Structure 1
């Protein structure tokens, strides 16, 4: 199968690695010629170009650009596609993207692989990135069954675990487990930097180990991605941030009141709840 990838970064490059290894013919498009050359050299794609017309031969196209570019890039891509071409994206917010693209293209289905690293760019691409990771598909009532089946078959071949939901359900869910953690993690780093005693700050930086590394990881990632999460999932994220603030206030009050028994019960209940999210 001829598969096109528009956007040759971490996700696009990783898709290319896995799908090319299965015998598919991969066509890649990037805004930078250097990225195109690198993708071919690494073996992520068979051919690459800065020209969208390269994707005219693709039977399925994955749009793997940053969130803000998905709709504008697709609008330019339309002129080069056959009406039978199936198009999907990998954006981490779905409602607005599906709402914007679906009226323009019948064979579109929104998608979001819940996989990645804090690194970005084609150099960060890796094999088997999607194995045993959730991959969300967000068809709507007008999405053709043939388009759903085409993308589902490819996603299954990646070893990913497929989940289906409505675009708005997706956005509310990821606001809790993906977008909120980025904001919280970033705030943790900022809070540490607010230490006014330079000696204490230096000690904190020297003492930081696995606990800080784990909790600060996503907050120290791609700044552009963090902004796009906030911009394109604004309402759901605001709701999550407000609830998180409420929980912080609750903890603050318990510590101020030295109510250690209730505090312990809070920690116990959250200890019991965590395995439902991290399996």
Structure 2
């Protein structure tokens, strides 16, 4: 197939590597000429351009731009698409994206590969980024079944773990396991930074090891991405944050009241529940 990728960053570039390895011709579009040249040099795409006209023969196009510019990017892209072309996106929020893009193109299918790194840009792209990671499609009653089946085939060829759900169900689920952890992790870092004694703060920074690295990793990621998670999944993120606050308040209460047995029971429950979330790969 001829496959187009709009946005040659971490996700777009990584898709390019894997799709080319699977035998597809990959055409990339980026606003920056330097990024186009770098993507070609790295082998992420066969050809690249700053112009959407390059994608006029593409059979499937992945929109890999930030959420904030997806609608205007799609509007600008649509006039260049072949009538049979499939359009999908990789945004981490689905309800607002599907609501906006589905009316623009009759063969649009919302998508979200659940993979990433702290670093961004084409230089961070890597082959195999999506292997053994979830990749979700969010079809609706209007979704073209053939378009969905074609995308499913492409996704499974990435060796991803394929899932389907509604856009709203996706946003509620990822609020818990993706968007909430970013805010909780960032809040952990911010709390540590409030230590008033400079020597104690310096010591804490020096002593920080794997436990702190694990719990703070996503909070130290791309700030623009974190903002978009909050802005475009506001209601579900607020809901999860409020429940998380209740859980923190319960821990505070147990410790204040010296209820050590209750605290241990709480920690035992979380110890037993964690594998249901963390041991899926």
Q: How far apart, CA to CA, are the structure 1 residues paired with 2:106 and 2:231?
A: 26
Counterpart of 1:236 in structure 2 is: 236
Q: How far apart, CA to CA, are the structure 2 residues paired with 1:83 and 1:234?
A: 34
Shift of 1:83: 1.5
1:139 to 2:139 alignment: yes
Counterpart of 1:187 in structure 2 is: 187
The 5 Å alignment of 1:49-128 reads 49-128=49-128
Counterpart of 2:14 in structure 1 is: 14
Q: How far apart, CA to CA, are the structure 2 residues paired with 1:268 and 1:155?
A: 37
Counterpart of 2:160 in structure 1 is: 160
Query: 1:98-146, CA deviations, whole angstroms, 9 ceiling, x for partnerless residues?
Result: 0111111110000000011111000000011111110000000110111
Q: How far apart, CA to CA, are the structure 1 residues paired with 2:35 and 2:44?
A: 11
Q: SS state of the match for residue 231, structure 2?
A: helix
Query: 1:1-59, CA deviations, whole angstroms, 9 ceiling, x for partnerless residues?
Result: 10000000000000000111121110000111111110000000000111111111100
TM-score normalised by the chain length of structure 2:
0.98
The 5 Å alignment of 1:254-265 reads 254-265=254-265
Runs of at least 4 residues of structure 1 off by over 3 A? none
Counterpart of 1:170 in structure 2 is: 170
Shift of 1:263: 0.3
Query: 1:166-202, CA deviations, whole angstroms, 9 ceiling, x for partnerless residues?
Result: 0000000000000000000000110000000000000
Aligned pair count?
279
Q: How far apart, CA to CA, are the structure 1 residues paired with 2:255 and 2:79?
A: 61
Shift of 1:72: 1.2
1:224 to 2:231 alignment: no
Shift of 1:82: 1.3
Q: How far apart, CA to CA, are the structure 2 residues paired with 1:157 and 1:44?
A: 17
Q: How far apart, CA to CA, are the structure 2 residues paired with 1:275 and 1:217?
A: 19
Q: How far apart, CA to CA, are the structure 2 residues paired with 1:215 and 1:176?
A: 15
Q: How far apart, CA to CA, are the structure 2 residues paired with 1:90 and 1:71?
A: 13
Q: How far apart, CA to CA, are the structure 2 residues paired with 1:12 and 1:271?
A: 36
Unaligned runs of 5+ in 1: none
Unaligned runs of 5+ in 2: none
Query: 1:246-272, CA deviations, whole angstroms, 9 ceiling, x for partnerless residues?
Result: 000000011000100000000000000
RMSD over aligned Cα atoms: 0.6
Counterpart of 2:200 in structure 1 is: 200
Q: SS state of the match for residue 239, structure 1?
A: helix
Shift of 1:70: 1.3
Query: 1:72-96, CA deviations, whole angstroms, 9 ceiling, x for partnerless residues?
Result: 1001001101121000000000001
Shift of 1:278: 1.1
Q: How far apart, CA to CA, are the structure 1 residues paired with 2:269 and 2:186?
A: 25
TM-score normalised by the chain length of structure 1:
0.99
Q: How far apart, CA to CA, are the structure 1 residues paired with 2:72 and 2:97?
A: 10
Q: SS state of the match for residue 277, structure 1?
A: helix
